[in-house]
Chain A
């Protein structure tokens, strides 16, 4: 069974700082990995999808990397803003199932 760990569990940074969120997974046989954000009381919003053959994927201020062989992915957020405050979840696709970590709760302080 795929186990997904996200570190840190919570992070608080001042506005404008660059930051990195980490995701590790135990089974490297993944098809892809998806990053989501979740605002309190809301559903999940897809941010980025990295295919297993890719190393990086970028969208605006977000950059996600994938090292499949070592079971790691990172989400880099540049020039953080208060609107980035949310919980960020990673989910590798293994077989027909996505497995989720418990997320990193990010607070960006104005």
Chain B
């Protein structure tokens, strides 16, 4: 399972409050990703990181920020949560094999409800 954990696993919050989700990995993988999964939309990339302090935006980055101060931790922050951010959030990491090929592994997910 590539040693990926997410916390919290479930969270209910109110509109306008800040929320931070944490992804932790134990195997020093370079790439880390945050996705959200919604019915009818599949998985959509929010942000990703390609190293400590190196991040880039994905398809649906508005309203989200990320930080990666250590290789093992990738944080996703909703500065002011809205009901449209109710979703299941998945963290993922990428491994590089000998030919430079990526395999992506996913964490168990965080179910976030914004009331």
Contacts and interface: CB of A to CB of B under 8 A. Distances in A.
Interface of A: 1, 4, 31-32, 34, 36, 42-46, 49, 51, 89, 91, 93, 96-103
Given A31-B102, A34-B103, A43-B90, A102 B42 contact: yes
B5 to A, nearest CB: 11
B106 A96 contact: no
B42 A43 contact: no
B18 interface: no
A44 B56 CA distance: 23
Interface residues of B, number: 26
A91 to B, nearest CB: 7
B45 A103 contact: no
Interface string B78-109: 00000000000010100000010111111111
Contacts of A42: 108-109
For chain A, what secondary structure do more than half of its interface residues adopt (helix, strand, loop), or is it mixed?
strand
A46 B93 CA distance: 12
Contact of B43 (A1, A45, A49, A89): A89
Interface of B: 31, 33, 35, 40-45, 48, 50, 56, 58-59, 90, 92, 99, 101-109
A72 B33 CA distance: 25
Given A51-B99, A96-B56, A97-B58, A103 B106 contact: no
Among B41, B99, B101, B105, max chain A CB count under 10 A is at B101
B50 A96 contact: yes
Given A34-B103, A49-B103, A100 B48 contact: no
A28 B30 CA distance: 25
Contacts of B99: 51
B54 to A, nearest CB: 11
